[in-house]
Each structure stands twice: as C-alpha cells, then as structure tokens.
Amino acid sequence: MSQFKQQVLNRFLKYIAIDTQSDDSVTNFPSTSKQFDMLNLLHDELKALGVSDVSIDSNGYVMGTLPSNTAKKVPVIGFISHVDTSPDMSGTNIKARLVENYDGKDIVLNAEKNIILSPSDFPELPEYMGQTMIVTDGTTLLGADDKAGVAEIMTAIEYLAGHPEIEHGTIKIGFTPDEEVGRGVDFFDVKKFGADFAYTMDGGGIGELEYENFNAASAKVAIQGRNIHPGYAKNKMKNALLIAMEFNALLPVNARPEFTQDYEGFYHLIKVEGTVESASIQYIIRDHDRTKFEAKKQNFKKCVDFINERYGEGCLTLELKDQYYNMREMVEPVYHVVATAQEAMEQLGIIPKVVPIRGGTDGARLSYMGLPCPNIFAGGHNFHGKFEYVPLESMAKATEVIIKIIDLYTSRA
C-alpha cells in the first residue's frame, strides 16, 4: 500500500491550497462562504469516483455512499472529516514545504523571520526521523486539521472504488464545515447519513485513538463600568478593565490550560476587550468528568455573584452555554467500534494510543445525536498555528487504517 503516500500527498496539497478558514464572529452557517469552494470540489470528486447518492445541501454538508459489494450482513460504517481551518491563524496562501528524510533536528520554517520548528520546543519531532515532513513557511497554519483527514478518507474511498474485488459493506462518507467554531454538526442529518456508527479522522499524531473528550461550555462576561474623569474619580469610577482583571484573579491559577494535562480540566481566558466604561471577557470551560464540569460552572457563577455584590448588581452579566459533552457515555455501549480500530492499528504495526481528547470533535456531538463516533489520528501536530506539521507516512498509515477497519468488519460478518 505504499502507493498511498503519493496519492494522499497530492490530495492534501490540493486541499490546503483552498482557503477554508471559518469565522467565530458571525452566526451564518457555514460561517464563511469560501468553505463551499472545497465542499463543492469534494462533491464533484466523489461523483467522479463513482460514489452513489452524492449530495451537498445548503448548509454545506457533503455526503456519499460506497455501496456494499457483499451478500454478508456488514454494519454500515461512516467516515467523517471537516474542511474548515481554525480562525486562530490565517489559512490564506499556504506555502507548504516537504522536508524529506528528516534528520530529527531543527527545521527552519522562515529564515527571514527566524521561525524554527525545533525539538527543544516540540520533543516528539525526532520520532519522525527519516520520514517526509510537511511544514509551513511560518506565516500561516498548515491545514492538516483537518484536510489530512479529508485526504485520507478520499484516498481510501478511491482505492476501494478502484478495487471492486475487495469485499466490503456499505460505507458512508461525510464532510462538514465549521467544526473549528464549534458548530460543525448543528444541522447534520444523522438519519440521512445512515451509518450504524462512524469515525472522525481528526486526531493528532500516529496511533491516537480517542473516545473520550471534554465536557465543554463557553462563558462570556459583560462588564458595565462607570467612566469618570480621572482627576475627579474618587469613590465614583468603576474601571471595567480592572474589574475584568479582578474577576480573572478569582479563578484558580492552577486550573489554566498551561498547567493542566490528561484528565485535568481548566478555565481558559480567550478574549478581553473594552474600555473603562465597558468591557467583555470570554472563556471556555472544560473537564472530562461531568461532576467536576458542573462544579466549574457553578464556581464561575459564584465569582460573577461575588463581583456583583462588590460593585453592584448588574455590573457583570454572564452568558454561559454548554457546547458539547464527553462522548464516552455514548460510545462505551458499542465499544467494539474502539476495539476494532485498535485492532486495525495493531495489525498494521501501529501502536494504539488510546487517550482522552483535550478538546472537542464533531464526533462528540454526533455520538449524542445517535451516531457513536470515536476519533482516529489524521497524523498532524501543533494544530492552529505556524508550527503545524504532518508526516506524510502518518497520513498514508491513516488511510490504511480506514481500509483495515472496513476489512475487519467485513471479514467477521
């Protein structure tokens, strides 16, 4: 299956050349119309491969079916990836570069700006010695999250469609917009998709397999201050910016992302803006444990109440929304979806790394919508920024994992 390297590379480079950055500041769906540039392309590519029931709706969801070619009763398996890239960094005019036979040392991404991808900062890099690394030029993200996953699914489907002698059940393919802004499956029609279960190809480094993720909430605090001329402000001014700082100081320092790992949750301050008169601060709240998650939200509310008691009711207004929940509860009853993916990796010589996602995925929400959907590695690292990279060999292996999962379910039917 060495042919996958060139095929998946060609697709990946084609896809990252399309700017599909989503936008968390708008309420449109999809949040950016340019995502349709890639979604329409995928629609056309699926049709060209002979995939059945290919569709794209007004929300941008692309779906298709590779029909069963066996009389066996095989579960209907879905594979899903998202096309958008993160709003955190530009995805325009991505200049990818291949570093062949990587030596395990520093990779200079941009000599002029002294941007270096170094093992001293990213100690996993030497694990990929001898492989082909795909990197940025340090001015954009790469887009492996999740165009690597898209390329892997498309390459696997192309292979199966071109080899009808390989027995398989019905395979469903789905591509979504707006995952990076937390709205990727807001309008996803699980019934239309028609899979018994699915996998998102949206994980990190090779071997990652995830069926647990954070419980997640967003919190926006609006702060109403009182601006008075500073020369006459005593006992009158309420500086909204300082109140924002005071509020943030009430939250535990050791519960910030930079001090947590594994199953530890956090409060993450993501935006501050305003003036003396008014300000706003935004957070995300995360925890794998549902009880601890609810406790974090309650503590956040108590901090709001404390500031309002200090400065007067209405000084702070809280908008707190749950975003998604830990999919473990929905996946464990059908644990074979995890066990089969793990076995597929092992048969391909990949060491499975069953780890909790310290983030979210479309699969989490889909699992609560009736489609159990664990997450498999797409191969990339350092998502959402200029140090993003993906080893080509990892993408080729992810393609093999897709095909092996299909093979395992077919052979056992």
User: Which residues are catalytically annotated?
Assistant: 84, 179
Task: Enter the tokens of residue 357.
Answer: 């996602």
Taking alpha carbons only, the member of 139, 144, 141, 161 closest to residue 9 is 144
Reduce the secondary structure of the chain to three states and give it as a string.
CCCHHHHHHHHHHHHHCCCCECCCCCCCCCCCCCHHHHHHHHHHHHHHCCCEEEEECCCCCEEEEECCCCCCCCCCEEEEEECCECCCCCCCCCCCEEECCCCCCCEEEECCCCEEECCCCCCCHHHHCCCCEEECCCCCCCCHHHHHHHHHHHHHHHHHHHCCCCCCCCEEEEEECCHHHCCCCCCCCHHHHCCCEEEEEEECCCCEEECCECEEEEEEEEEECECCCHHHCCCCCECHHHHHHHHHHHCCHHHCHHHCCCCCCEEEEEEEEECCCEEEEEEEEEECCHHHHHHHHHHHHHHHHHHHHHHCCCCEEEEEEEEECCCHHHHHHHCHHHHHHHHHHHHCCCCCEECCECCCCHHHHHHHCCCCCCEEECCCECCCCCCCEEEHHHHHHHHHHHHHHHHHHHHHC
Tell me the sheet residues that pair with 272: 281
- In order of 105, 223, 240, 315, the CA distances from 236 in angstroms are 59, 16, 13, 14
Residue with tokens 């084609």: 14
